[in-house]
Structure 1
Amino acid sequence: MKSVKDIMSPLEHCLSPTNTLEEAINIMYSQKWNTVPVTNHSGKLIGVFTRSSMYQMILSDVSKDTPISDYIKKAVGTVLEDVDSELLETMIAKSRVGTGIIINKSGKPVGLFTKANAVMNYVKETQILKSQLEKVMDTSNLGAIMTNEQGKIIFANEKCAEMIGRPMNEIIGEDMEAFIPPFSKRDDKRESHFPLVLYKQHYIVRLSKYSIDEEKEGYIALFQNVSELEKLSAELESQKKWETLLKSVIHNAYDGLVMINEAEEITFISPSLTELFELEQGLKEKTKIDMVLPHLKLSQVMNTGVAEVSDFMEVKGINYLVHRIPVYQGEKIIGAIGKIVYRQLHEVREAFKSAEDGQKETSKREGMEKSRFTFNEILSNDKQMDKLIRSGIKAAKSKTTILIYGESGTGKELFAHALHSSSMNSKGPFITVNCAAIPEHLLESEFFGYEDGAFTGAKHKGKIGKFDMAHGGTLFLDEIGDMSLSIQAKLLRVLQEREFYRVGGTERIKVDVRIITATNRPLEKMVAEGTFREDLFYRLNVISFEIPPLRKRKKDILLLSESFIQEFNRQNGTSITGWEPLFEQAIMDYDWPGNIRELRNVWERAMIFAENGKVRLEDLPDYVLKKAGYDIFLQEEEEVSELPLLEKAEQFAIQRALEISGGNKSKACILLGISRSVLYDKLKKYKMPLLKE
């Protein structure tokens, strides 16, 4: 903010009371002043000598040598030099005096401020402001128009003329409505935004009112090219992506790094990797990752969206691992980072040890039980299941015990197989024990094996147990809630000590086994009731997953159904291609208490009984039709129907289709697979009301 001393006229001369009329006239003439400050011998202001004072002395016919002391005006308005200029301009505008005296804190005059000074300063400030506004408008690429109260254009900038496609002199004075057709319809709004197309270019126009005086209003319109907004938005999005990618690099920095964008193009590669893989020092920008480093398989993580660690690989005799990490922005994958580990870090040493142990055990355990499923074979469109799978892939990398909850038939064993397949022990055995299917007195020997002669009927040379068999791999304990308290205690010891004794044996046997358990029983409630050991529960419940029942993920019913059609067509030689709409509605209405296992069984039955290429409603078991509310198709022996069963079923099907479609007959026709005219005939036949569309 400017102060008054920046724009005042500085004083070069002052008068004293002893100065003569002639001296005063000479100073006023030379300085072009109408007012001259008068000071005392200390230099402090005591008054002013004005042009009117001079006229008074001349008219009084005094001599030129007469002192001005009797003609000094002592009522003087003064302003301190540090007052801001805007306040002084306001004071001058309201003052009847044309000149103000500027004094310092000592009361000595230092300058004059006239109305002419105020006007010149205002003009200068206006010119600067106009120049600044024009610069802002040019830089922002905004077109601008201003009108008077009649809507006539009084200002337009060059950018606006370019947008409108008319020279400036043809725009000024024209009606705003000539260039903005919606203008007249919006004059009742204080401010509005609307799209406008000019010469095939799309603009967003902001129309605002401004006050000319108390009763008159004009308009200001600002034009913004939509393509420029989109470009700006794209640039901001690009910056956000880079920020996210760079943060990921910082947080995941390791031996070697390579980074790709969403198009699988290399955007960064560390010098250590170009040396390790003997790449050209000047890789071209946006080179596809699979063209130069396909063995890293970074494009794979772009598809799965799940971080993973590769098997051991080798280059120039150096073993290395690749940690593939997807980079997310919100829910969208915008790139991936490859972390290459090859130096003597803790993780590498552990991985080498695990690999060596796995190779030794593989040769010993050919023919051992292996996992049969991966996470890719778990079909689901459900968000909760998708989150569960992602968490499962992460948890699989550790050796931590995992507990899987879920109702019978939800796929707990399938999930356990997938966990093993994604683990570091995936090449090792996957041994399953159903704790509910083995008698209690045999469960201990099943777990730990027995020595020769341990009990009557024991095999010669003894037998190894499930823990022995699962060494270097995974032991899956299904129905863990059905295990007796005595076996629970022995299992707890194995989990804590990683060692056990065979039945009848004295040799301590150490094992490296990853434990995965599953149950459909409420273990926490069983702990409270004393039927399940609390210490074992907390040992098993380090990481837990609860697989939702099928009734809570209805979107998966049709997805699984398509899979079952393919499976049973191959298995049973059927040729089913799909299902009818009412069949679909019935299986969607049913709650599936047996979950996926029940759905699979129902599909196998329906495909066997189907008489054509599509399964129909009547191919479903009776109990499904009853529980789903379709029991009209089941005629009990004692029931006497007014209509034949086929016609009654047809009537029900039409009624059900209308309910599902909300009374929309076009949609009902699609569900029923009939034409609109046939539907009207059926409605009349069964005297059913004609619902409105």
Structure 2
Amino acid sequence: MASLVEKEDPKRVFLHTDQNILLLSRSSEGAGIQYLPCKEVSSDVEVAHVVNDLQDDTCIFVSDSNGQPMGYLTSQVLSKKLYSAYHYLHTYIETILETIDESCTVIDRDQNVLAWTGGAEQIFSIKKEDIIGKPITDFFKPDHLELLNTLQDGTSVYHRQHKARDNQVVLINSNPVYLDEEIIGAVVSELDITSQIKLNKELYKATERLFHLEKEVSKLTSTNDPFMKIRGSSPQLKKTFNKFKKAATTDANILIYGESGVGKEMFAKSVHAMREDEHAPFVAINCGAIPEPLFESEIFGYEKGAFSGANQNGKKGKVELAQGGTLLLDEIGEMPLDMQVKMLRLLQENKFYSVGGTKEKEGNFRLVAATNQDLGTMVKEGKFREDLYYRLNVVGIEVPPLRKRPEDIIELTHYFLNEISIKYNRPIHGISQEVMQALLHYQWPGNIRELKNVVERLVVFAEDGEIKLEDLPFEPKAIHAANGTNKVFSDTTGRSLSDRLQVVEKDIIVKELEKVNGNKAVCAENLQVTRATLYNRIKKLGIK
């Protein structure tokens, strides 16, 4: 305001009286003096207030915060000063638009182009002089203009891939232009990423070929370390590998402990690969998936006519199929007690009878058992035979759960992203630090199996190759930064992350507006956002 005040004028003199201020104005011809009442205002008053006052008063007397005179303002003086300020600001804006490399487009409420930068000329091959002042829809299809959506409903866009033309993809930011809470135009900046998209697709195809080639090579190439197929390089996992490798150099029975989903069968297969030749059978049976009446026939097989409905030719059991190889008894804790007695005899004598059979058969196999239960506690509770437990638990090895080896989460996530994106032919550009932090801080009760399912979900819901935090099937925990703020909000209300963030954002804006008595300009400044952004958020969050 102070910069607009006229300091001196020999033709005008201000006269203070007890009641008001009078302006003594001498005519240009030097004859006659006019005495006009003059309103006094402070220098910190808004320009809009001064403009309203000048509609009723010829002149305004301006004083500083201490009441000392600074000068005066008339309509003519104010017009010149404002035009000068406008011209000054306009020059800066023009220079900024000419300097930036990115494409920037500005339209008014009638969709006419007001600004068109050199970057826009390069991307769209349209000269500035050909498009300025004309409707943007004369040059682009309306359904290809994200800018029109911003103009119509005030929606802001940040870093969104957009198909500007049939053969062109751009990354855009857009914002509505607000004046007195009314949209009067829209601004969009665009970065041409068509070449990057093409390169990413080529890289994806190369990665896909490499991934398949890697699998084929692994099939054809023998390796001295079958544990290489198990992903992970954490210290905990390396210690587990060493234990299994030592056990695999013997014929000892191995009992694998581990939570559901840690990959116990993969470890059993790796042990099998180390101590058997490539043609030896690997036979797995899940003890928790077999009905109790059928357990014995599944394990030992049966002879023809052994029971009603049996196969006329009989059937070999898992023990007989595993001859010369490895038998994996998965979820051994689920084995019925009466069956445990027969399994104990098999392990002690290496002999068994088929159901309905009279001839004793030899059991020539190596045994690996696996469980997610505490067999020692089950023995104390009478739910598992002690003698069988000691026979199985010659070498007991625990596979650590995923939450105890967070380093492996990163490697497994990237591996599954690559594998699943190829499976669904959906290229993924990468995974953000925010999403990775959420994965690292999750407890993973379902371990690797759950991690793979979560990654598959993220790939399915990804848009434009971008993985989003809100697509996680679990609620991210609060991650406290060094400054004490939360990067990810945690709650137990059952609402989605997006909804909770909006509640927090709304609360912040409402409180800030209350502090400044509803002054949106000051509120936007305090929140370090543009006024347009603040208006947009107020509208979207339904703040009255």
TM-score by length of 1: 0.39
Say which structure, 1 or 2, has more relative contact order (CA 8 Å, 6+ apart). Answer: 2
TM-score by length of 2: 0.49
Radius of gyration: which is bigger?
1
